[in-house]
Amino acid sequence: MSICDSTNIDFEKLAAQVFDRCEVIAQCSDEAGKITRLFCSPAMANAHKQIRLWMEGCGLHCQMDSLCNLLGSTTTDDDRPRLLIGSHIDTVPNGGRYDGMLGILLGIGVVEALQSSLDQLPFALSVVAFSEEEGVRYRSPYIGSKAMVGCLDSELLDRVDDQGIRLRDAVKDFGGSVEHLAAARLREGSVIAFLEPHIEQGPVLEAENLAVGIVTGIAGQTRLTARFVGKAGHAGTVPMSMRRDALAAAAMWIQEVERIGQAREGLMATVGHVQVSPNVPNVIPGEVAVRLDARHAIDSVRIAAAKELQLRGESIASERGLELHWERCEEQNAVPTDSDLNALLKQTMEELGLPNKQMVSGAGHDAVYMSRVAPTTMLFVRCRGGISHHPDESVTQADIAVTLRTMVGFIERLSMSYSHK
Residues lying near Zn ion in the complex (CB under 5 A) are found at 99-100
Give, as one character, the DSSP assignment of residue 122.
S
Q: Which is nearer to Zn ion, 51 or 260 (CB)?
A: 51
Contact 17, 24 (CB under 8 A): no
In Å, how far from its chain's centre is CA 232? Answer: 42
To the nearest whole angstrom, how small is the minimum distance from the Cβ of residue 94 to Zn ion?
A: 15
Q: Which is nearer to Zn ion, 113 or 359 (CB)?
A: 359
Three-state secondary structure call for residue 161: coil
To the nearest whole angstrom, how small is the minimum distance from the Cβ of residue 99 to Zn ion?
A: 4
To the nearest whole angstrom, how small is the minimum distance from the Cβ of residue 332 to Zn ion?
A: 17
Q: Which is nearer to Zn ion, 99 or 132 (CB)?
A: 99
Q: Which is nearer to Zn ion, 102 or 254 (CB)?
A: 102
Is the peptide bond between 375 and the residue preceding it cis, with omega within 30 degrees of 0?
Answer: no
Q: Which is nearer to Zn ion, 122 or 203 (CB)?
A: 203
Contact 129, 170 (CB under 8 A): no
To the nearest whole angstrom, how small is the minimum distance from the Cβ of residue 100 to Zn ion?
A: 4
For CA atoms 245, 251, 257, 259, give the dihedral sign: negative
176 CB burial (10 A radius; 0-12, 13-18, 19+): buried
To the nearest whole angstrom, how small is the minimum distance from the Cβ of residue 196 to Zn ion?
A: 9
Q: Which is nearer to Zn ion, 123 or 142 (CB)?
A: 142
Q: DSSP labels for 210-263?
A: -SEEEEEEE-EEEEEEEEEE-B-EETTTS-GGG-B-HHHHHHHHHHHHHHHHHH
Q: Which is nearer to Zn ion, 106 or 289 (CB)?
A: 106
Q: C-alpha dihedral over 300, 368, 163, 69, to 10 degrees?
A: 180
To the nearest whole angstrom, how small is the minimum distance from the Cβ of residue 180 to Zn ion?
A: 26
To the nearest whole angstrom, how small is the minimum distance from the Cβ of residue 72 to Zn ion?
A: 19
Q: Which is nearer to Zn ion, 99 or 287 (CB)?
A: 99
| Integer Cα distance of 144 and 70 in angstroms | 10
To the nearest whole angstrom, how small is the minimum distance from the Cβ of residue 61 to Zn ion?
A: 26
| Integer Cα distance of 308 and 315 in angstroms | 11
To the nearest whole angstrom, how small is the minimum distance from the Cβ of residue 371 to Zn ion?
A: 16
To the nearest whole angstrom, how small is the minimum distance from the Cβ of residue 133 to Zn ion?
A: 6
| Integer Cα distance of 305 and 298 in angstroms | 11
Q: Which is nearer to Zn ion, 99 or 161 (CB)?
A: 99
| Integer Cα distance of 203 and 7 in angstroms | 32
| Integer Cα distance of 365 and 376 in angstroms | 11
- Residue 90's CB: how many other CB atoms inside 10 A? 29
H or E stretch covering 276: strand 268-277
| Integer Cα distance of 320 and 159 in angstroms | 43
Q: Which is nearer to Zn ion, 96 or 261 (CB)?
A: 96
**Residue at 37: amino acid letter:** R
**Residue at 230: amino acid letter:** G
Nearest by Cα to 309 from 273, 265, 261, 274: 261
